[in-house]
Structure 1
């Protein structure tokens, strides 16, 4: 019997979906109860709010936990993760956690040191997640799952570019340079940042889906190998024999009574059992 699809990654996927979902739910509630303007106010400004204080940190920390669970799902699924991929996914999660622990500095609650840490933590996080996804493209070359990942990367890259432009426009407006106030109004930083957050969540969910789909594919290969060995014993083929030009067209050809896609079976002297 075949293995159940996604059985090993299921706990990781449930934790990831639960944590990411809770983080998004908390963020939505915060936007509802707070008097901040979501069009022009950044998410960081919600650390200083009349209602919902502390909800932003809880939301971001929940997203960080969900991101680590995504990394766990990819690892358990057997997805080929390089050291760079693991490091970048970890930096994304750690950047989110640092941004939650060290809030931005505002005149209502000035803390320059915390503000600097918050700024660079956000920068590291927003750059690390797409970088981790890009590092997966080469190992997934030729696989159909790569298409969805490329689309999610493009979405995140576009959203990041828009947010970066809006951030620069705000800085130039604060410096009193013309005509950037009008340009900044056309690219409101609050909207651009929320688009980036949505794109990052889409990328995370794409990675999570990738883990489930690749686990199923890898399990199919292992199942084929197991059935082939069992059928080989029944046909007089021993474990120290090798299958030549085998194709995963089907585990066993009932009509022909031989392996589907197998050209011939040869003896492997290196795999023969030793005689006393």
Structure 2
């Protein structure tokens, strides 16, 4: 149950490799765009990064935020498409479905902005919150499920183990938010007041984006022309 690498000559022009690199580039551009917004906030305001990333969608830089998140969603789907094309996973697998849920959640975050508390709660904000949770929870699950069948594989074992570790790290990064929600249920304190939500969210997003990039490296490796999928590939 493995793919093989061949030593024979092959063209370096691989459509799948182009798609994999494009997906990785889209994810990296997301980091640059959101990072530039954070840098601007740090240098021009006194609030620091205590507010959530989604707060940018309520201001003049909404187009930057929306574009960045759409790029992340599209880049993630491109990376997944390469993994499916090369037999690393199947569209109907649990890992692929979780990866798709991550991208769909990100897209809904753009379509439905968060609550604007200067106006009051809204249906859009409620959908935004659920979509965010779906995305944050789905990515660790996707990484773990994509990696698990390949952990001992001779060719892809190293990529799978890195993906698996970052899946675990992503899940661990989500636990402070779960703790805040639990405090809200048991004590009644608003969960966003239990911890510095903006900083915790950025840590979680950073870990999850790096996890996507780790998967992207796997897709790029699988898309190299010398790789040939065997008949027993997953």
**TM-score, normalising length: structure 2:** 0.78
Question: Does 2:55 align with 1:54?
Answer: no
Conserved in 2, the CA contact under 8 Å of 1:8 and 1:77?
no
Identify the structure with bigger relative contact order (alpha carbons < 8 Å, sequence gap 6+).
2
Aligned 8 A contact 1:38 1:190 in 2 = no
**What is the CA distance between 1:218 and its match in structure 2?**
7.4
2:51 alignment partner, one of 26, 41, 50 = 41
Cα 1:12–1:175 change in 2 (3 A) is same
Deviation at 1:8, TM superposition (A): 4.2
TM-aligned CA deviation for residue 155 of structure 1: 1.4
Which has the larger share of helix?
Answer: 2
2:148–2:164 Cα contact (<8 Å) kept: no
Cα displacement (A) at 1:77: 2.4
Deviates more, 1:115-124 or 1:160-169: 160-169
How much does 1:167 deviate?
Answer: 5.4
Distance 1:216 1:18, change over 3 A: closer
Residues 104-119 of structure 1 aligned to structure 2 (within 5 Å)? 104-119=114-129
Q: Which position in structure 2 is the counterpart of 1:232?
A: none
Report the CA distance shift for 1:152/1:6 in structure 2 as closer, same or farther (over 3 A).
farther
Is contact 2:163-2:214 (8 Å) kept? Answer: yes
Q: Give the TM-score, by structure 1 length.
A: 0.67
Counterpart for residue 227 of structure 1: none
- The verdict on how the C-alpha distance between 1:160 and 1:38 changes in structure 2, with shifts beyond 3 A counting, is farther
Cα offset for 1:33? 3.1
Cα offsets for 1:30-75 (capped at 9, x unmatched): 22334473432111222223x4233222221111111111111212
- 1:73 is aligned to 2:87: no
Alpha carbons of structure 1 residues 110 and 7: separation in structure 2 relative to 1, 3 Å:
same
CA RMSD across the alignment: 3.0
Worse-matched range after superposition: 65-74 or 139-148: 139-148
Alpha-carbon distance in structure 1 between the residues aligned to 2:147 and 2:225:
17
Size of the alignment, in residue pairs?
214
Structure 1 residue corresponding to 2:150, chosen from 140, 154, 159 = 140
The structure that has the greater radius of gyration is 1
- Following the alignment from structure 2 to structure 1, what is the Cα–Cα distance between the partners of residues 176 and 151? 29
Whole-angstrom CA distance in 1 between matches of 2:213 and 2:133:
21
Structure 1 stretches of 5 or more lacking a match?
223-276
- Cα distance change of structure 1 residues 201 and 176 upon mapping to structure 2, 3 Å threshold: closer
